[in-house]
Structure 1
């Protein structure tokens, strides 16, 4: 399907209205997964023209993403990656875990950005950062699109590596599903139960009577709502 390429419109607007000189685009991956971290990338691009074909990582084939990511890493002015582990997600809830991962990503940048473009409509970053939320920013904003591709490829590579750690983990096919729900992933959970890489407060455990005793109590109604909204049950 044809799509409009992302632009620097939001970056230019932030420069004009707030005087921001360094603007970082921020995007996350792994929010709806059963296993693995939530990963956030912060990318600073300036106002240069990006490599051809850049858009939201979800609109790019895996092969194209894998080829584009190293080009983007070399092209951006700077980028930082931050992760929140499954244990941190269980302990803090997704919103706080996202903020933790985003702060870690931003603090990896060599210079603190004057403003941040955050993909989506919710500002999970908050003070003291100057944030502009943009719905579908990963399609419309160059810096956010770059962050989305880098984050996706880095996390997918990490998850594939987890799947190769041991014979037991190979059954989960993390190299194919990156920790997200799939029939193969469900079958492995039914047989083996959750690994140390799984989120134990997630609702997939409700459908696993053999392993329900491992489930951690949701820390708040907010965490439960995020689970329900993230298609984390066995809805195939």
Structure 2
């Protein structure tokens, strides 16, 4: 998998909110449209990893875009719909817990971002991918952006789409397995979740059996 030199900014160089500076520079170079790529769900013990690709309309940028982790659930839901309504193209892809167990979480995350990029109905000329790695097999040149969801509005939009989509998937999982409380912790290793695993056991194809402490029960 490709790796670029870190372009991580100094702590106090980060903007208060992500902006459209990188995208505008690429557009001036003729590299348009530009897609932002991000994922949600690397750390949980259960559920899929979900990635999104978003091509924003430079003339209709939603107000309030930010790293999904810095937004309330209500703000994420509102921005999710604003992005859907205004973006030139949005695509989502996910890899299941079984796929993660068969590979590893980094490869699964990058593969989900690749699939999301390929699913865009508008072909991107360039992609900005959150993190240190460029997903292999993208349909266009790309740049990795450390803390990209705090620097690029396109990546921030992708982070919101991925996070809200994954949260909705875990809320559906909670209806099937109410004892595990997925609607509250979204599969992360909270005390409540770890206790539920101890009392009720892991759920096949939903829990990531390659993750500690689950691999000890496999």
Contact 2:57 2:86 in 1 (8 A): no
1:122 corresponds to which of 112, 133, 146: 133
Q: What's the CA shift string for 1:114-153, capped at 9, x where partnerless? A: 1110112222336664111111111111111111111111
Answer yes or no: is 1:201 the counterpart of 2:213.
Answer: no
Contact 1:102 1:125 in 2 (8 A): no
What are the equivalent positions in structure 2 for 1:95-174 lying under 5 Å apart? 95-125=106-136, 129-165=140-176, 169-174=177-182
Answer yes or no: is 1:24 the counterpart of 2:35.
Answer: yes
2:134 is paired with a residue whose SS is: coil
2:189 corresponds to which of 178, 181, 186: 181
TM-score (norm: length of structure 1)? 0.81
**Structure 2 unaligned blocks of 5 or more:** 1-14
Answer yes or no: is 1:91 the counterpart of 2:102.
Answer: yes
Quote the Cα distance in structure 1 between the aligned partners of 2:25 and 2:108: 29
Higher relative contact order (CA 8 A, sep 6+): 2
> As a proportion of its length, which structure holds more helix?
1
Q: After superposing the two structures, state which structure 1 stretch, 108-117 or 37-46, moved more.
A: 108-117
Relative to 1, partners in 2 of residues 1:135 and 1:65: Cα closer, same or farther, differing over 3 Å?
Answer: same
The corresponding residue for 1:4 is 16
Contact 1:25 1:44 in 2 (8 A): yes
Q: What's the CA shift string for 1:1-59, capped at 9, x where partnerless? A: xx623221111222344x31111000100000110000000000032342222111111
Give the paired residue count. 203
Deviation at 1:163, TM superposition (A): 0.6
**Structure 1 stretches of at least 4 aligned residues deviating more than 6 Å after TM superposition:** none
The corresponding residue for 2:69 is 58
The corresponding residue for 1:43 is 54
The CA RMSD over aligned residues, in Å, is: 1.7
